[in-house]
Amino acid sequence: MTKTLLLSFICLLLLSTVATKAQSISYCAESRAQAIQKKAIASPEHQRQMNLYDVTFYKLDLHLERNSTYITGNATIKAKVKSGGLSVFAFELHQNFQIDAVLINNRREQSITRNGGEVTVQLSTPLTASAEVAATIHYTGTAPSGASAAIGNGFNTAREPEWGNHVTWSLSEPYAAYEWWPTKQVLTDKADSVHVFVTTSAENKVGSNGILTRVVDLPENKRRYEWKSNYPIDYYLVSVAVSNYEEYLQYAYPNGTPIPILNYVYGGGAMAAYKDEMDRTPGFIEHFSELFGLYPFHGEKYGHSMAPLGGGMEHQTMTTQSTFTFTLTAHELAHQWFGDNVTCASWQDIWLNEGFASYAEYLALQKFATPEAAENWLLDAQDLAKLNVPGASVQVPAQDTQSVVRIFNYRLSYKKGASVVHMLRFEINNDNLFFKALQNYQQQYGGGTASTADLQKVFEQLTGKQLGYFFDQWYAGTGYPTFRIAWNQEQNRLLIVSEATVSSTTPFFRTDMEYRITTTTGDTTIRVTQGKAIENYLLQVKGEVTRIQPDPNNWILKDASLQRNRLLAVPDFGPPVLYPNPVHGPSIKVANLSFEPTVAKVYDMTGRLVRSSYFLTSEETTVPVSDLPAGMYQLLLTNGSQKYSARFVKVKN
């Protein structure tokens, strides 16, 4: 889900005009949190009752129009009774709706108790474990308008201002599905399949999940759209969008698999306005399929239904979007993998949806835009992630899962989340493994839900790395490190001293760091570990150092300052070291030489010269030995009168 209109826009505007960034954004996000702090989750007792069954199927059969939030129709919940048996059937439906009838296994039940949005139906005949239950709820009413969803209401209608189209659409995340249909709002209980049937005036089209199997003409100039999906789906991803849409069909071909992309676009000129932007979608699908694994709903479709929601919502196989800007389209599409195929197991884990979808914006910019555009995106994300808002949470996990505003905190769930994904990629230090882990995660948890611990496990299993400290400090922890870096050069010796401090409760951030070292002879990037508060790195360089850049590729969430300190004593290298010795590889190296040799000579034990070569490399002296037979040798390195000599053993290749 991405909200582009109110919250983030205001924040970004304030950000660019007010000097004290941290202060400005706090009022933006956190005061809104106060204003719409609301509780829409069912009580623990009601959740317990809903968890006596396991949903297998949802069917909605509704009458909707494009200029109204009035709903009449019915919904069927099919489920399997769990081991405890079932004497009441519990679900959620907003109190605005009148319940006209409840049929359970074709029998009309009369004992219906309502408490706010909680509905409990007493079963005439209790059901035993493993029994199937089919509950059909007939209901009527006008959807509420309390703006309790992530953007707006669970069910909305509006006239979009640009071309004047009326649109009615749903947006259930995180727990506003009950504002328009009877449901069980428990993330970990996905339905195996869903049917969404909508009857509407004949000039409308209805966008929804899966495949449009039929459009049935009905009396009184009505039509019924019959959508069916056979993929597992979470309650908040079931959707409708109703308008007098125009249709634009495209195809993507990831791995040669044709995927239809069905766009329901506003009438009145929007098609021409958005066509070029919509045409980015196939490339995005193909690229993300390469990175994360084949588009998860490849047996059905992808698509967009337009609605004036001020952003986008990743409804499964049919995203609802207000525009087609580059990053919005990429973000919502990436949710089909991260959010829809693998859904966060609790709202506390929302960064598994939003952090990854946000990071996919960066991946798409890298592939399809310019390196500068991608870098700017990353730096903006890190700036937002680092903002320290007094009194507000600064951890990624959304611990207050009853606060919609905290769940969708742009700074933490989106931007710090994306920054953590970027650092995880750096930590893995191998893009093949990093993306393979993401593919494994999709395979292992696709069709279900996953927690942050599940993600960590997938990465640990594939890479063999222990990542507990990584998630402790960057995900569960607060703040970020500040590096104060001093350096000095004496002859061919460069000393870099890095002092890491923190401004948070996280005592220390252990991380690798890259340094780009530019000298009069060229530049090189090294990777070192900040394993304690103060680290000294002594390096051999060729030429005069003209510039040092810490973290030149912006991997790490950090602040860094750097200066040359000419008073900093640069220690001598230890004695020269020849390695590996014995050698069975292609070459030997000599480190810590106090001079740059121009000639290398290798003698065998009889004193015969067997190799003479000249050096080209700067940092370490490398001598090829692959063609030497096994035996003992003497190496002699010289530059004028300067000499180094050592013995080494060559073993069989």
**Interacting residue ranges for Zn ion, rule: CB under 5 A:** 1-2, 354, 357
Pick the closer one to Zn ion by CB: 2 or 449.
Answer: 2
Compute the least distance from the CB of residue 335 to Zn ion, in Å: 6
Sequence-distant (6+) residues with CB within 8 A of 377 are 327, 361, 362, 365
CB of 81 to Zn ion, least distance (A): 35
When CB distances to Zn ion are compared, the closest residue is: 1
Task: Report residue 635 as tokens.
Answer: 């190496």
User: In this complex, which beta carbon is closest to Zn ion, that of residue 131 or of residue 291?
Assistant: 291
Q: Which is nearer to Zn ion, 357 or 438 (CB)?
A: 357
The minimum distance between CB 236 and Zn ion, in angstroms, equals 12
Nearest distance, CB of residue 173 and Zn ion, angstroms:
9
- The closest of 184, 170, 199 to 318, measured between CA atoms, is 170
- Taking the complex as a whole, the smallest distance from the CB of residue 52 to Zn ion amounts, in Å, to 32
Minimum Å distance from CB 347 to Zn ion?
13
Beta strands in 82-210 (DSSP E): 86-92, 98-104, 107-109, 112-115, 118-127, 132-142, 155-159, 166-170, 193-201, 205-207
> Looking at beta carbons only, is 195 or 335 nearer to Zn ion?
335
Residue number with CB closer to Zn ion (398 or 625): 398
3 versus 66: smaller Cβ distance to Zn ion = 3
By the 10 Å C-beta count (0-12 exposed, 13-18 middle, 19+ buried), 458 is classed as: buried
- In the chain, what is the straight-line distance between the N-terminal and C-terminal CA atoms, in Å? 57
Which of 354/551 has CB closer to Zn ion?
Answer: 354
Q: Cβ closer to Zn ion: 297 or 414?
A: 414
Shortest distance (Å) from residue 353 CB to Zn ion = 6
Q: For helices 351-368 and 281-292, what crossing angle results, to 10°? A: 120
Assess contact for 382 and 419: CB atoms under 8 A.
Answer: yes
Q: What's the min distance (Å) between Cβ of 1 and Zn ion?
A: 4
Cα(330)–Cα(334) distance, integer angstroms: 6
Give 78 or 415: the residue with its C-beta nearer to Zn ion: 415
**From the CB of 357, what's the least distance to Zn ion, in Å?**
4
DSSP string over 206-233: EE-SSEEEEEEEETTTEEEEEEEE-S-B
Comparison of 353 and 489: residue with beta carbon closer to Zn ion: 353
328-360 in b/e form (b: 16+ CB < 10 A) is bbbbbbbbbbbbbbbbbbebbbbbbbbbbbbbb
What residue has token string 């890190």? 382
Alpha-carbon distance 265 to 321, whole Å? 10
Strand partners, 544: none
Distance of closest approach, residue 297 Cβ to Zn ion, in angstroms? 17
Residue 375, token pair as written in the block = 């870098």
Please calculate the CA angle 184-189-192 and round it to the nearest 5 degrees. 105
What residues pair up with 321 in beta bridges, in sequence order? 306, 312
CA gap 637, 93 in Å, rounded: 83
Q: Please, what sign has the CA dihedral across residues 128, 129, 132, 135?
A: positive
DSSP string, 360-378: HHHHHHHHHS-HHHHHHHH
The minimum distance between CB 475 and Zn ion, in angstroms, equals: 18
Check the CA dihedral 533-538-541-544 and report its sign: positive
Instruction: Give the whole-angstrom CA distance, residue 472 versus residue 480.
Output: 12
295/410 with CB nearer Zn ion: 410
Question: How far, in Å, CA of 554 to CA of 379, rounded?
Answer: 8
- Work out how close the CB of 421 gets to Zn ion at its nearest, in angstroms, rounded to a whole number: 13
Q: To the nearest whole angstrom, how small is the minimum distance from the Cβ of residue 150 to Zn ion?
A: 9
Cα(12)–Cα(23) distance, rounded to whole angstroms? 13
* Secondary structure of residue 192 in the 3-state scheme: coil
Closest CB to Zn ion among residues 184, 315: 315
Cβ–Cβ < 8 Å for 500, 507:
no
Task: Identify which of residues 352 and 590 has a Cβ nearer to Zn ion in the complex.
Answer: 352
Task: Kindly state the smallest distance separating residue 151's Cβ from Zn ion, in Å.
Answer: 11
Q: Which is nearer to Zn ion, 1 or 345 (CB)?
A: 1
Give the separation between CA 7 and CA 172, rounded to whole angstroms: 18
DSSP secondary structure letter of residue 652: P
Residue closer to Zn ion (CB basis): 347 or 555:
347
Minimum CB–partner distance for residue 310 and Zn ion (Å): 13
Render the burial of 93-112: b for 16+ CB within 10 Å, e for the rest: bbebbebeebbbbeeebeee
